[in-house]
Structure 1
Amino acid sequence: MTHEATPQPYGTPEVPRVAVCGEARIEVDPEIARIGITVSARGTDRRSALEDLTRRNTAVLDLIKGYGDPVEKLETGTFSITPELTRHGRGERVRAYHGRVTVTAELNDFTTLGELTTRLADLELTSVDGPWWALRPTSPAHGQARRQAVLEAVQRAREYAEALGANLSALVELADLGAENASPYPQAGGAMRTMAFSAAEDATAPPLDLEPQRQTVYAQVNARFTMTPPQL
């Protein structure tokens, strides 16, 4: 009865191994953009603040939904009604109520994004934050970066082997260390642009001309190859 030889985790003089790292970094245009909308209201009693907040929130949602397919995602985030107490006097007396609701929208059409952002900023007590540029998780750019990283690993290993007068003979291992794009929602100072506007009294402002920020996609692999005996 014969047993097949167990592969060794290291090379031998007859079958040397070479280990390399392949990296790739590419820049591509973003595919989607996200904006954050905050709707506010203030009233002397809780009901009036809530009614104003509901009315303004409905106006925001109707406006965004009216753009149809360019809006890929629309989500309501936090909601709050907070009492404001008087600063002087005895007891806890409520001076006013402040309401706030946040909404996020994700768009794939950047011309629509500029128009929508301007129209949202024209609404009563409504502020807009963003945009945050990003790629979809399924973007082909991720695969492109991974392929480039593998090609670089093969080329690097081949150059090492040729420097020893040898040739690559087989791939032993290929380890994916991750391929990821730059943070889709950067912090201030990066790709994020913050806009805060109150209601406009004049005619509707022209659409904003937003310049998309290119996204960096990074991939890295570790590869191990066997090669022919070197000519030392």
Structure 2
Amino acid sequence: MTTPTADEPQPAAVPYGTPDAPRIAVRGEAHLEVDPEFARIGITVSARGRDRRAALDDLTRRNTTALDLVKSYGDAVERVETGAFSITPELTKHGRGERIRTYQGAVRITAELTDFTALGELTTRLADLDLTHIDGPWWALRPDSPAHREARRKAVHEAVQRAREYADALGTTLAALVELADIGADAPQPYSATPGRMRSVAYGGAAEDSAAAPLDLEPQRQHVYASVNARFTMTPPAL
């Protein structure tokens, strides 16, 4: 038997197997429902005044108050970030020329918490601050969450089990794994599937002699998906 040289055409790969090595192509899927690992809230602090400097001073003071309150929760807060900042003149709608009626300012803060009991208390206390708007929470899993790994593992096991069942139906067994393809294991998390939200709230200030009861927030279960394509060879069945 001669060995083909580099100049000679090589035999083409057979994508669907041969009678001596038939192939089975299957898809394995997994769906897990797990508790979220953290929650994100958005905090918008606002200020308004006829004088630019006064509006800016009020905004700076309220921003500091909100940040100090968030940071006072220590390890329960995993991350706090300041996003957009704006101070905008608002013009009069009538009359000649451009006249500034007032100035509006806003600062956007994002906080991530892992303690959901503290989350309910913090959101209530933030909502009690003057001109403070709260969005969220958005429940989520971390990108490296063990839940993603477990879903992928289950998807692979399901693909192997499904292939074995097909082979068993033909009275034979699997011989070897030819290909395993990840076709998009995890559903987007949003950082997650549809994020859970509470109603946005905005307060102009609470009475000094009253304190709102902490919100009782129920974490939204997260859905994790995994899917793989797998190809196996099997021992030729006796048909």
TM-score (norm 2): 0.91
1:216 aligns with 2:223: yes
CA distance 1:155–1:31, shift in 2 (3 Å): same
1:59, CA displacement in angstroms? 0.4
Q: In terms of mean alpha carbon deviation, does 217-226 or 189-198 score higher? A: 189-198
57, 65, 69: which one aligns with 1:59? 65
1:152, CA displacement in angstroms? 0.5
Q: Give the Cα–Cα distance (whole angstroms) in 2 for the partners of residues 62 and 31 of structure 1.
A: 24
Partner of 2:199: 194
CA distance 1:181–1:203, shift in 2 (3 Å): farther
* 1:64-143 paired onto structure 2 within 5 Å: 64-143=70-149
Contact 2:139/2:195 (<8 A) preserved:
no
Q: In terms of mean alpha carbon deviation, does 117-126 or 176-185 score higher? A: 176-185
Q: Give the Cα–Cα distance (whole angstroms) in 1 for the partners of residues 12 and 102 of structure 2.
A: 78
Q: In terms of mean alpha carbon deviation, does 31-40 or 170-179 score higher? A: 170-179
Contact 1:23/1:148 (<8 A) preserved:
yes
1:40, CA displacement in angstroms? 0.5
Alignment RMSD: 1.9
224, 229, 237: which one aligns with 1:230? 237
The amino acid that maps onto 2:55 is A
Q: In terms of mean alpha carbon deviation, does 196-205 or 72-81 score higher? A: 196-205
Partner SS, residue 84 of structure 1 = strand
1:200, CA displacement in angstroms? 1.1
1:25 aligns with 2:44: no
Partner SS, residue 185 of structure 2 = strand
Partner of 1:166: 172
Q: Percent identity?
A: 69
Count of residues in correspondence between the two structures: 231
Contact 1:41/1:125 (<8 A) preserved:
yes
Partner SS, residue 205 of structure 1 = coil
Q: Give the Cα–Cα distance (whole angstroms) in 2 for the partners of residues 30 and 184 of structure 1.
A: 12
Q: String of CA shifts for 1:6-65, please: whole Å, max 9, x gaps.
A: 864330001100000000011000000000000010000110000000000000111111
Q: Give the Cα–Cα distance (whole angstroms) in 1 for the partners of residues 138 and 126 of structure 2.
A: 16
150, 153, 157: which one aligns with 1:147? 153
Q: Give the Cα–Cα distance (whole angstroms) in 2 for the partners of residues 200 and 186 of structure 1.
A: 34
Q: In terms of mean alpha carbon deviation, does 22-31 or 159-168 score higher? A: 159-168
174, 180, 185: which one aligns with 2:186? 180
Contact 1:185/1:192 (<8 A) preserved:
no
Structure 2 regions of 5+ residues with no counterpart? Answer: 5-9
1:44 aligns with 2:50: yes
Contact 2:83/2:108 (<8 A) preserved:
yes
Q: Give the Cα–Cα distance (whole angstroms) in 2 for the partners of residues 89 and 12 of structure 1.
A: 86
Poorly superposed stretches of 4+, deviation over 4 Å: 1-7
Q: Give the Cα–Cα distance (whole angstroms) in 2 for the partners of residues 217 and 186 of structure 1.
A: 8
Contact 1:135/1:181 (<8 A) preserved:
no
